[in-house]
Each structure stands twice: as structure tokens, then as C-alpha cells.
Amino acid sequence: MSNQPWWQACTCYQIYLPSFCDGNGDGIGDFPGLLSKVDYLQTLGVGAIWITPFYPSPMVDNGYDISDYCAVDPRFGTSADFREVVERCHASGIRVIIDLVVNHVSTEHPWFRDAWNNPASRYRDYFLFSKQPNNWQSFFSGSAWCAEPDTGEHYYHKFSPQQVDLNWQNPQVEQEIYRVIDFWKSQGVDGFRFDVINFLTTDGIGPDNPIDNGEQRHEFDINQPGIIDTLRRLCRYVRQQGNAFLIAEIGSDELDILARYQSPELMDVVFNFNIGSQKTFDISRLCSEINATQSQQSGLPTLFFSSHDMPRMISRFGEGPHDIERAKAVLALQLTVRGVPFVFQGEELGMTDYLPRTVEQIFDIQGKIHYQTALQQGLTQAEALVQAIDHSRDASRAPMLWSDAPLAGFSAITSWMPISNDYRQINAMRQQQTPGSLWRDYQELIALRRQTAALCEGDGGLLVQTEECVWFMRATASERIWVAINFGGPVQNPWRAIAADVLYGQDTQWLGKNQILMKRRVHEQTQQ
């Protein structure tokens, strides 16, 4: 391998901590549970883990409402537990990335508790208050403004009322976040995933957003003019503290906006939800999105098909309730196309979506707020429930299925979310012991990517599509890889005439449905 950044060769694994593994027997995933599964992660072959927020929090939005940036919520363990996880991961060759939310804090954060209803607070200007709120709406529905009881002012929140936005016009806010970064770097973390980073309010409260066809267009509340300079300073500061992988979640589906935030001076990668978030499988659209991203982004794209905010890929892309063959084919695409792959916990098992049937079975704050908003708009309870389920992010958040033991080996007591009913058939222990399982394919393909330079750092041409077969080439100075993945009916093998070693699959004249083929030729062979 060349001297490329360490993260370029990584397959990253997202851990939604409350649902990963319960180590202390309270029904909630935690750091002792994660520590017990480091060997599992090492065996799977991942090079880095991304851990969702674990800081002290009221858990209105499952930890994305932080009340203390520099501590561990007791529900997840102790600071010593976190350091032990980092040390154990590093000893196993696994880097640790943490989720950092700097757009907003919890209303329970000491800064806001002091500023609340108190114009004289030293922290008042850490937040955004207005006596005459504009029309900006929350991304969770409804107004983005909440009134204080005594001052006649309102505070601003892009998400739930319990998640109050920081005022990034105030240099003291920026310095506070630098101190947070210093703290976690001192704990050994290797990177940061910055949540909704293009939402930072760097230019204050502007004019009303325009309304198109009854829907608000978020023109002035996100992607504000001063944000690039702010992030340039932030990224420079992080890099001065040592090598770190910087990931940006960008709340946009426009490629030109995504591209603004990725450069050697800004974020290393940006999350592009266009690639993997489609509700049903459409290979033509998928190819178009990947090709457009490859063409328009200056750096490496991110490649993911599930996350804690999205329904699981196997529940959206399959031709049945548990289409393992389609899942393997999508995985092959994810690990061979130019980019940085992110695997969400449970994908390697083929875990399917959690499906609530009543409002009481919805855990996500976004779904709950949409339910209440729908009722306020005059919808029936049944109609409001449809809205709530459609906007809830619970689908992918159910506990990890470790074994066929009671409660799937996740916990010794009832878990915070229900365990999937199919845990006896779909669990990690069973799949690790079964040749040809989906888990085994994940392990094999992750290892293949890690060991093959052209798949980590090779130039990548555009994807070509013949019927439902996708084919492309990756190359370095020392080797060339030809990849073909057929998602539909039999097609002629586009690489049949290429004289090269078969790296994966079978080099047959015809490629069948969900068949994968990789061929490889090293530099010495190309010179003959």
C-alpha cells in the first residue's frame, strides 16, 4: 500500500451504542458491552468504528441532545470504560471515531440552563434569542422558536425544542468546541463525525425562508455564508492536534453543496445520502448517483446503505423480506467502488427493519413530533400514525442479535427497544458458524478490500451499466481490478475476454442474477 491516509483503506463500522450490546444488565447497550465485542469486530475485519453519542444527555433524541461534552453518560459506563474500549480497539488494529454534535446542545446543558430566561447570563450569547421570531421551521416539523416565560424572547432550535442551537457568530462558542476537541483527542480518539455540520448558525438569524407549494425552502437557516471559514478554522485546529479523520454529515442532497465542504482544508469526506437512501432498489439511479458523485466531489465519496437514521438496506433493496443474495451483491458494490465504506451494525447479519404498529411503539422523537403536528393539523389518529411511522428513524435501531439465547444475547433483561422476533434464525453466533452465510461474505469481502491496493486507493472510472449489470475498473501503478456485479437476469460477462486472475466469483460466459466477478492483473503481467 502507498502512503495514503489510514482511513482510505478502512471499512468503517457504525455502532449505535444503545443497541449494540448491554454489558451491565440494564437493557441498554454500553461500553462494557462494546468492550466484550472487540474481538468480534476484529474478526469481521473492520478498520475503524464510529460510535454514536454517548455523552450525558436527557436522551430526548437518543443522545444527540448533549448536556455535557466532556463526560460519559452513566447509562453507557464510565470514562475509564471508554478509555479501555479505545485501548482495546487500538491493540486490535481498530481506530475509534466519535460522533460530535456542535450545532446544538440540550436545554439541560449548564450553558443554556444559565442563559434560560436570564438576559444577564454570561452564556446568553452562546444561543440565539429573538423578540420577533421569523418563519424558520424546525426540521422535526413546526416552528423553530420556543418562547421564554418572562423575557418576551424566543430561543431558536432547528430540531426538537429540547435541542437549542449554538450561536457560532460568538467566538467564545468556537473556543468552547476547541476545548471539547482537545479533551477527546487526549482520550485517544482517531476522528470525529460532525453531525449536521452545514446547519451551524454562523451568520445569525436572517430573513424569512421562502415558501414553495406550501413547503418551506431552507434558504437562510442552513449553509450560511460564513460557515466555510468557520469550518476551515475548525478543521485546521483539529489537524494541529494530530492526525484525525474528519467526517461531515451534510444535510443536503445537492452535490454542489456537498462538494463545498470537502477539501484538504475542510472535511476529509462528506456523507452523501443520495447514494444509499433510495426507498426501493433502482440500479440505474444508483449508478447515476455514484457516477455523479465521483465526477463532482474532489475527494473520496462515502459509501453506505444503512445508518441509524435510515431503514435497513435489506428491507428496502431486496425482492423479498430477507433477500440475502441481493444484500451480498450490494455489499460487493459498496466495497469495490472508489470511496470509503461505512457498514451499520447488523447489516452483516441481514437484520431487517423494526416496524411499529402503534404510536406507543414509536421511540424516535422525530416520529413523535410528526404525530403531534399531524393531530394539530386536523388529521385523524390513524392518519397521524402513518405520518409518524414514515418520519420515525426507529427502523434500524433495534438491538443487535448476538445469539439464539433469550433476548438474542443482547441483554439479561428486557431491552429498551424490542428484540426482533427472528433472532433465533438471524444472529451473529449462528452466522459465524455457517459457511456461505452473509456474515462470512462480509468478512471475506472486507478482507479482500483491505488486502487489495487497487480497491483501496486505485483510480476509478465511471460505472457502466448493461441491463442490470454494473461493471467498472480500478487501477494503481502496480495492479488492475475488473469488477462486474449483475443485479438482474443473465447477461454476457463484460470481462470474459480479459486475461487476468479471478479474484472473486466465477469467470463464466454469462453472469447470473446477483453474481459477482472480480479479476486482477498485477503490474508484471501488464508489461508482458
**Catalytic residue IDs:** 195, 249
- Give the C-alpha distances (Å, rounded to integers) separating 456 from 47, 115, 202, 246, 402: 12, 48, 36, 18, 30
Other beta carbons within 10 Å of 319: 10
Tell me whether strands 12-15 and 340-344 are parallel, antiparallel or unpaired: parallel
Give the integer Cα–Cα distance in Å for 327 and 442. 10
Give the integer Cα–Cα distance in Å for 341 and 288. 18
For residue 293, give the DSSP letter.
Answer: H
| Identity of the residue numbered 88 | R
Tell me the residue ranges of DSSP E strands in 403-478: 459-460, 464-466, 469-475
HSE, CB side, 13 Å, CA atoms: give it for residue 276.
25
Give the integer Cα–Cα distance in Å for 229 and 169. 12
Find all residues with CB under 8 Å of 377, minimum gap 6, and list them: none
CA dihedral 168, 173, 176, 178 (to 10 degrees): 30
- Give the C-alpha distances (Å, rounded to integers) separating 182 from 178, 188, 190, 267: 6, 10, 12, 18
> Cell 447489516 identifies what position?
347
Give the integer Cα–Cα distance in Å for 520 and 326. 24
Give the integer Cα–Cα distance in Å for 337 and 462. 9
Length of the chain, in residues: 528
Find all residues with CB under 8 Å of 467, minimum gap 6, and list them: 488, 489, 491
C-alpha cell at 439: 456474515
CA-based torsion, 408, 413, 414, 415: positive or negative: negative
Give the integer Cα–Cα distance in Å for 458 and 454. 4
Give the integer Cα–Cα distance in Å for 488 and 508. 16
The H or E element containing residue 8 is none
HSE, CB side, 13 Å, CA atoms: give it for residue 256.
0
